[in-house]
Amino acid sequence: MSRFLCCFAICAVALAQPGPGVDDRSPYILTEPVPGSDVPVQLTFVMTRDAIYTPIALRKPKGDGPFPAVLFFAGNGGGGMPEAKASILNRGYISDRFLAAGYVAAWIRYRAEVPGAYRKAEKLVATRRILSRPPLDYDDLISIIDYVKGLKFVDPKRVGLVGNSHGGELILKATSEIDVAAAAPSEPAAAEFLGIEGEEPVPKPANKAETMERIRRINTPLLIMGRDGDHLQGTFRLVYELLKEAGKQVEWVSYKHPRHGFIFPGRGKDGAYHPDEVQVAAIEGLLKFFGRYLKP
């Protein structure tokens, strides 16, 4: 029994040690290899605004930095660390490309979505251990952004976001409260942020003044990515048009591809990535976009 307790204590101490190049503000780091690469993934948890934890799977270039950083995420929340780890290992073509270009690249997860809660929620105020309202999924994104900006190997002025589907909507919600260097909402399913109600042939906000007030708080340069033929293409385009109307720094691009979430190619059955021409072009476009805002 004494040998068991001794081994357990040694393992616990080892697991709690910072990984190479990891900021000691978050000492509970598990470093694991990535197949076919000499750059490991660092798995850790970020304290959220209500003092619980949400996962991040991060890879960094060799060296001390400070580096620019881009966070990747998609869809509704949930799944925890297994989902974050699976994303960087199995949908990591895009993060691999950014890592090779000199970015810290991370996949993140956040709590599950609560449909309909956003428009009823005031801005979250946290005072000591008292919250003004229950936290929502985009509050976790804000916590992760703050954490990444504080890493000693990241330049806090050069942090970007790429979010697909509901992840694209989270970008709009988060950047209406905080600023990042640049962000790309891809296929942003932003009905809640825009305040769209009902099913119109051409979507429109139920209360445009309320929607424009949220949009006016956004200062982050945005690249809105649509998908030709998607049944929500009208919503994707409306995001761009309202941002443009508000005088925001925003660009629009749309690609013809059969799959929702096409910017995140997955591994094939052979364990390799086989992105098609459209996926390659879209990711190269993202690298050029972020290169304008995040590269020195």
Residue 97 clears pLDDT 70, i.e. is over it: yes
Does residue 19 belong to any structural domain of this protein? Answer: no
Instruction: Report the percentage of the chain scoring pLDDT > 90.
Output: 75
Does residue 12 belong to any structural domain of this protein? Answer: no
pLDDT digits (tens, 9 = 90+) for 222-253: 999 999 999 999 999 999 999 999 999 999 99
Per-residue buried b or exposed e for 72-84, using 16+ beta carbons within 10 Å of the residue's own CB: bbbbbbebebebb
For residue 18, name the pLDDT band (cuts at 50, 70, 90): very low
- How many structural domains compose the chain? 1
Q: Tell me the residue range of the domain where 184 lies.
A: 30-294
Does residue 25 belong to any structural domain of this protein? Answer: no
Does residue 233 belong to any structural domain of this protein? Answer: yes
How far is the C-alpha of 211 from the C-alpha of 196, rounded, in Å? Answer: 9
Rounded to the nearest 10 degrees, the angle between the axes of helix 277-294 and helix 93-100 is 40
Res 53: pLDDT: 92
**Cβ–Cβ under 8 Å, residues 264 and 74:** yes
Q: What angle do CA 52, 264, 194 make, to 5 degrees?
A: 65
Res 159: pLDDT: 98
pLDDT digits (tens, 9 = 90+) for 66-83: 999 999 999 998 999 999
8 vs 48, higher pLDDT: 48
Does residue 21 belong to any structural domain of this protein? Answer: no
In this structure, which amino acid lies at residue 184? Answer: A
Res 166: pLDDT: 96
Q: Which helix (H) or strand (E) holds 236?
A: helix 233-245
For residue 126, name the pLDDT band (cuts at 50, 70, 90): confident
For residue 31, name the pLDDT band (cuts at 50, 70, 90): very high
For residue 184, name the pLDDT band (cuts at 50, 70, 90): very high
Which DSSP string corresponds to 134-196? ---HHHHHHHHHHHHHTSTTEEEEEEEEEEETHHHHHHHHHHTTS--SEEEEES---HHHHTB
Q: Which of 133, 136, 128 is nearest to 110 (CA)?
A: 136
Residue 270 clears pLDDT 60, i.e. is over it: yes
Rounded average pLDDT over 201-218: 92
Res 157: pLDDT: 97
Does residue 88 belong to any structural domain of this protein? Answer: yes
Rounded average pLDDT over 113-135: 84
Residues 6+ apart with CB under 8 A from 80: 55, 109
Res 142: pLDDT: 96
pTM over 0.95: no
Among 161-175, 200-214, 222-236, 239-253, name the one with the lowest average pLDDT. Answer: 200-214
Residue 256 clears pLDDT 50, i.e. is over it: yes
Residue 1 clears pLDDT 80, i.e. is over it: no
16 vs 152, higher pLDDT: 152
Residue 12 clears pLDDT 90, i.e. is over it: no
Judged by DSSP in three states, 255 sits in strand
Token representation of residue 111: 């709590």
Q: Which of 98, 85, 92 is nearest to 30 (CA)?
A: 85
Q: CATH number of the domain at 185, please.
A: 3.40.50.1820
Does residue 219 belong to any structural domain of this protein? Answer: yes
Mean pLDDT score across all residues of the chain? 89
**Cβ–Cβ under 8 Å, residues 74 and 59:** no
